Amino acid sequence: MFNAAGSVHNVLLQRELNFRKKIFPDLGHTVVKAAISGFGVWSLVIGQLAGTIIQSIILWVVLPWRPKLIWNASIAKRTFPVWLFHHGE
């Protein structure tokens, strides 16, 4: 769930080949994992969660793109009957 929050930003940076901006979220993820290494087995769980959250936050700060809700009526007309057929009436 937390990884999904920054996945689009991560892909956009990769697609633009903008590795100078991409290095900060990746380093943030690694630093958090290294800092928690003293907690034994739980460091794996805490490090993964905290690292992913920090990485997503940094991705949102580094890349100013924000998702927008766009309604396209022609696409909705084509897909609604298919959705209705698969999910019952």
Mean pLDDT of the chain: 76
Structural domain boundaries enclosing 63: 2-87
Residue 63 host element (H or E): none
Per-residue model confidence as pLDDT tens digits over 14-43: 888 877 887 777 777 666 666 666 667 777
Number of structural domains the chain divides into: 1
Average pLDDT over residues 57-65: 84
pLDDT of residue 86: 61
Give the residue carrying structure tokens 């100013």.
Answer: 64
Q: Identify the burial level of 34 via C-beta atoms within 10 angstroms of its C-beta, where 0-12 means exposed, 13-18 middle and 19 or more buried.
A: exposed
Distances, alpha carbon 55 to alpha carbons 39, 69, 81, in Å: 21, 24, 39
Q: Is the pLDDT of residue 71 over 80?
A: yes
Any residues with CB less than 8 A from the CB of 62 and at least 6 apart, and which?
9, 13, 21, 22, 24, 25
Instruction: Kindly report whether the global pTM for this prediction surpasses the value 0.75.
Output: no
Q: Is the pLDDT of residue 87 over 70?
A: no
Q: Is the pLDDT of residue 59 over 60?
A: yes
Average pLDDT over residues 61-80: 82
